[in-house]
Amino acid sequence: MEYRKHPERRMRHLLSAPIIWAMIVPLVFFDICMEIYHRICFPLYGLSYVDRLRYIRIDRHRLKYLSFWEKVNCAYCGYANGLMHYASIIAGETERYWCGIRHERISGFVEPEHHKAFLAYGDAKAFLKKFVFK
């Protein structure tokens, strides 16, 4: 809760709050769309469902030492950040199923963890050996 160390930024925090909270609408819409995709397509692909409860955690609102607004904000952050993590796992499982080739190495690119098991970019021989069946 770094914001507590900067009481001189109170006005900035108040000005940014509506922008942060306006994101709830696209987040909920995204959540619904992602869940529809997940529940329909994963069984079609033979993939196991991703356990939502492992990624979305809303629990900090129970802490007695937080103010009411901190509890509300913590619930929102638990949902928003958990949803993005959950969605990235679903997207990663989809990518693993449909692709399996790493991106070209470019300085500064942060490779997702699941890419480590993918084939090297440009390795046609490995691709043909692994994915082309005769």
**What are the pLDDT digits (tens) for 106-129?**
999 999 999 999 999 999 999 999
**What are the pLDDT digits (tens) for 53-112?**
999 999 999 999 999 999 999 999 999 999 999 999 999 999 999 998 999 999 999 999
Whole-structure pTM value: 0.87
**Tokens read off for 84:** 């993005």
Q: What's the mean pLDDT when you consider all of the chain?
A: 93
Q: Which helix (H) or strand (E) holds 70?
A: helix 68-98
